[in-house]
Each structure stands twice: as structure tokens, then as C-alpha cells.
Amino acid sequence: MAARKPNEARIVITGIGLAAPNGNNLTEFRKSLLAGKSGIQKFNVRYMGDVLAGICHFDPLKYQKKKDLRRGTRAGSIAIYCAQEAIADAKLDLACLDKSRIGVYLGITEHGTVETENEIYEIKQFDYDVKYWSHHHNPRVVANNPAGEVTLNMGITGPHYTLGAACAGGNIGLTQGLQMLLLNEVDLALGGGVSESTGSFGIFAGFKSEGALASHPDPEKACRPFDKDRNGVVVSEGGCIFVLERLSDALKRGAKIYSEIVGYSINSDATDFIFPDKERQIQCIKLALNKAGISPEDIDIINTHGTGTIEGDPVECKAIRELFGEYPYAHINNTKSFIGHTMGAAGALELAGNLPSFEDYTVHPTINLDHLDPECPLNNLVINEPKKIDKVDYILNNSFGMLGINSVVIVKRFEE
């Protein structure tokens, strides 16, 4: 086991704000996960007609005015909602904090695509006369926009930026927040991920052209990781932001602590634009385990990345079997089966959905898994119904993305 760190070097989660297709806060989200409630629906996309997608239904006017919504972006609005909810959940009073010592670090898959597509569509109606191009375009499309909109809304004057990390972004935003706290660059970090992917027809069209866009007569059954009848990705929007603090600060103010972040890692496949690499996934998980000072047998829950693609799911399953096969203790689940692929928000949302397991000792299931693919067998894969287990001390969260970026985060039950 790793040597015990001083409290100033231990980073804990003290607040969670989220917007998911099946819940607007952690309580709603967790309830949906335990009840098997999907958030996938039919959604009309320009040039394509009806597709299947995960759409969030939070109230953007809770923290913004209508003019702010007109000027800003969907990603920014989701990020503001999540950040404000996280601060409220942590029971922090922004007015009493040094806002120059708060950092905002958000993982994204892409940004600017939605705004550019919309503007081109609009000026097409005017024979491409650029005088009809929005003067809000540039601040909408810069890559730091979602995090920047949070700082504008909340008056935060510390560092902010987004991290373009494909579908590993949520984990990586969390990791960046942790690292900035350890470097003493900030005293409070808002870290996580956000996605407005459903606003872009290009993303839907891209997956369709690859033969990887999910379809099903019943929208709620469209996302089917590990099922032999799976046929691709369900594109979704969403966001999840965590309040991160040094344990010393959290204890000083008597904060509720969801968990301690004890392991994390990021690496690259360097093999292909799209197809994942088992060996690099294994390496990434091992690096996180080593950083946490634990072995595979210590992990109680593994939340898989599994997106529902024919090629991707078996690779992750093989990596997990190779690492955890002789230690058949970890229970395994998948959150995308409920909400689809929330891209840059995926890792953060999926971690959040599993954190209540530290309290209720229940593993939420993977739904829509009716016929397990023979290439995807996993010990203790929790299927279609929640499962009570005796011990939940460590949760491991996988998130992998295009261009071969891999990330793993390990959280631990908090103990002083």
C-alpha cells in the first residue's frame, strides 16, 4: 500500500453538479440508474431527420438570463448549470471565497462545430452573404468557451481552460483540477467535462458514415454495450463538474466528502485514429493502480467505457479480463447503456453515477444487455438489475477516446 499522504496532498470530491439525459442532479441520476431508466429519445437532426440521442432537460434559466443564452453556447449553458449546482452541493458561498484562487478545468470532445454549422446554415438562406454572420461567433467557438462562460457567470478570476481530450475528457478535466491543487496553483477546483455534441449534424453523420451510429425501434434500447446485437454509438449531450479540494481545507470547513481521488493516469495508443489498443489500455489501468498503491484485487467496481461499437467493446473487455481475470472480485457495469455517449462529459458523469455506491453498497447495472457477445464475457458483469455487494472501497473508471487517448481515475471511500 502507498504511504499515507499528509492531508494537504490528499484531494477529495466535495460537490457534484450534473446534467444527464436521465437526471438533473446526482439524486435523480442515481435513481434512474438503479431503476433502469434510460434517457435516450428520438431527435431530429438537420439533413438527417430523426435519429436517437440523449438530450438533457435541465432549466438553463435557473442560473442564466435569456440574453445570456442568446449570446452563449449550449456547452457553456450546460457547464454553468453544472458548476453552479456543484458549488451549491458543496455548500460553498462564492461571495466568501477568493475567486482568484478558483480554477475551472473542463474536458471536451470538440467545441465550435455546432456554432459554425449553425452560422453556415443561416447565411445559406441569404445567398452566403457574410453580413448575416453572427458577431458573437468568435467568442462562441474558441476552445476555452465552456470554461470561460463559467467564469463570466460566476465571477471566477482564477485560471480556466478546456482540455480537448475526445471521449476521455471528463476524466482528464477532473485530473487537471487535482494536479492544479497539488501544485498549489488554486485552492478550489471545478473539474469535469461537458458536451454539446447533439447540436452537430456532423457528428451524427460521421458515425453513420462509419457504420457506427446506433439504431433501434425502441430509443431506450438503442445503446447496447457488450450485447451481440449492438450496432453503434448513441450521441448524447451532458455535463458533470466536481468541486475538488485539499482534504485539509475540506475538513476545516466540515464539508461532506464523496470520495478521495487516489489514482489517475493518461496515455496514448499511438496506433490508429479510431480503433483502440488493448495493451495501452492495460498500461493505463496499471499506471493508475500503481499511483493509488493498490492491486487489481482491491478494486470493487469497474465502470467500463464501452460505447456499443462492434470493434471497441471487445478490446476493453479483453484488457479487463487480462488484468482482473484472476481476481474475480470487481463488479463491472456500464453507464452509457442508460444515457448514450456524452462524449467529453462521459468520464465525469459515469464516475458520478457510481459514487453513491460507497454509501448504498449497490452496483448499478448495465441495461439492454440481452444477449452477451461471446467476445465480451466479464466476471461479475452486473446485467439489467442492480446488485448489492459486501464491500465498496475502490471504484475504477475507464474513459478512452479517438486518436488513442486513454484515461483512468480511481476513487476511494473516504477515511480520515
Considering only CA atoms, give the Rg of the chain: 20
Quick one: which of 407, 395, 390, 350 has its CA closest to 259?
A: 395
What does the alpha-carbon distance between residue 311 and residue 276 come to, in Å, rounded to a whole number?
8
The rounded Cα 293 to chain-centroid distance in angstroms is 24
Q: Which residues are catalytic?
A: 167, 305, 341
Q: Confirm if 160 and 103 have CB atoms less than 8 A apart.
A: yes
Question: Which CB contacts under 8 angstroms, 24+ apart, belong to 143-148?
Answer: 143/108, 143/111, 143/112, 145/72, 145/73, 145/75, 145/76, 145/111, 145/112, 146/73, 146/75, 146/76, 146/78, 146/79, 146/106, 146/108, 146/111, 146/194, 147/79, 147/104, 147/105, 147/106, 148/76
Q: Confirm if 341 and 233 have CB atoms less than 8 A apart.
A: yes
Quick one: which of 386, 409, 389, 411 has its CA closest to 399?
A: 409
Quick one: which of 146, 114, 120 has its CA closest to 134?
A: 120
**CA angle (345 as vertex; 343, 351 as ends), nearest 5:** 120
Cα dihedral 81→221→108→200 (10° resolution): -90
What does the alpha-carbon distance between residue 73 and residue 69 come to, in Å, rounded to a whole number?
7
Cα dihedral 276→277→278→281 (10° resolution): -80
**Could you tell me whether strands 259-268 and 11-19 are parallel, antiparallel, or unpaired per DSSP bridges?**
antiparallel
